Copies of this chain bind each other. A is one copy, B any other.
Amino acid sequence: MEYNKRISDMNIGEQVEGFYILKGVYPKTTASGKPFLNATLADKSGTVEAKVWNYSGPIGTGDEGKVVKIRGEVSEFRGASQIVIEKIRLAEQDDPYQVSDLVPVAPIDVDDTMREVEQLVRSIEDRDYQAICLQMLQEHYTALRNIPAAKSVHHGFLSGLLMHTANMLKTADFLAKLYADVVDRSLLLAGTFLHDFAKEKEFTFSQLGLATNYSVKGQLLGHLVMGAQEVAEVAKQLGVPEEKSVLLQHMILSHHGEPEFGAAVVPICAESELLSEIDKIDSRMEIYREVMEGLEVGEVSGRIFALEKRIYRHK
């Protein structure tokens, strides 16, 4: 028996034992009155349904999102795999499992990427924009390092926001030079760095760090308005001239490009126009990357909801 077998590798008939995320749990009663659990287990390779017969606790609804240790057998139920669990308990502090085996993480070196981002921020020539960015970096250091940038669609893994921000900053840096006669590099880089910071408040996160839902505040105000508001406050504290503060807020408020994609105002500066394009490019390339991982060369995908089309992998 292989311990901690990846869910995507399990076969019907196998015995399995190991640590998995208890993604969902539904206590039930059989027709004959006996308690049992329906559960969903997950690791970073996928999810699988499970059943614990004759089980009345202690694990229950309040434990969703935690790690459990289980032992059981993979069987078939209505055409899909299902683990019939014999033993289940919550994982403890010293248990031998790696969070990184259970939750998906960005395919980057987090320390290196944080350094790259910080270097680009320090390269912002305008002292005011730089000061705001450094202040925000300090206040949100841990969040930037760790949180995903989405629930699912793209960058929905640990450090997803960092990966997204770093890629975009590099492109912003390149385009600021290419269009140097049109674009203020300091404004473009500052806006790019800050554009998604309020995602930290827009989502609620599970114990393991994944975005599980939109927060109520996130749904009432949106991360664009929340982000602009925080930047306005920091700018005021630091004594940055109002014109710069307003331009930076405009960058954040308009970075979805069009009202129908959620922009609170439309971009009307070269820098905000460019930011919305850079955001779109990085989002789309990441969607292609994630979808193409699941395709063979020469295969066309099913319909991708976020793109409203199928895509093709040719290499």
Interface positions of A (Cβ within 8 A of B): 12-13, 28-31, 33, 38, 75-77, 79, 167, 170-171, 174-175, 178-179, 181-184, 214, 216-217, 219-222, 224-225, 228-229, 232, 243, 246-247, 249-250, 253, 259-260, 262, 264-266, 268-270, 273-274, 277, 280-281, 284-285, 288-289, 292, 298, 300, 309-312, 314-315
21 sampled A-B residue pairs with Cβ under 8 A: A12-B33, A13-B33, A31-B75, A167-B178, A171-B174, A182-B292, A183-B285, A184-B314, A184-B315, A216-B300, A217-B246, A219-B268, A220-B249, A222-B253, A222-B265, A225-B225, A253-B264, A259-B260, A266-B309, A270-B311, A273-B285
Nearest B residue to A173 via CB reads B174
Whether B222 contacts A225 by the Cβ 8 Å rule is no
Whole-angstrom distance between the Cβ of A30 and the nearest chain B Cβ: 6
Whether A181 contacts B289 by the Cβ 8 Å rule is yes
Nearest B residue to A271 via CB reads B314
How far is it, in angstroms, between the C-alpha of A144 and the C-alpha of B28 when the chains are bound? 46
B residues in contact with A268, CB < 8 Å: 219-220, 300, 309-312
Whole-angstrom distance between the Cβ of A273 and the nearest chain B Cβ: 6
Query: Which of A13, A184, A225, A268 gathers most chain B CB within 10 Å?
Result: A268
Whole-angstrom distance between the Cβ of A164 and the nearest chain B Cβ: 12
Nearest B residue to A281 via CB reads B277
B residues in contact with A253, CB < 8 Å: 221-222, 225, 264
> Would A178 and B182 be within 8 Å (CB), given that A76-B31, A266-B309 are in contact?
no
> Would A175 and B281 be within 8 Å (CB), given that A264-B225, A269-B312, A300-B216 are in contact?
yes
B residues in contact with A222, CB < 8 Å: 253, 264-265
Whether A249 contacts B270 by the Cβ 8 Å rule is no
How far is it, in angstroms, between the C-alpha of A190 and the C-alpha of B255 when the chains are bound? 30
Whole-angstrom distance between the Cβ of A312 and the nearest chain B Cβ: 5
How far is it, in angstroms, between the C-alpha of A76 and the C-alpha of B38 when the chains are bound? 13
| New A-B pairs, 8, CB < 8 Å, besides A253-B264, A259-B262 | A12-B29, A31-B77, A184-B314, A216-B300, A220-B246, A221-B250, A264-B264, A277-B281
B residues in contact with A13, CB < 8 Å: 29, 31, 33
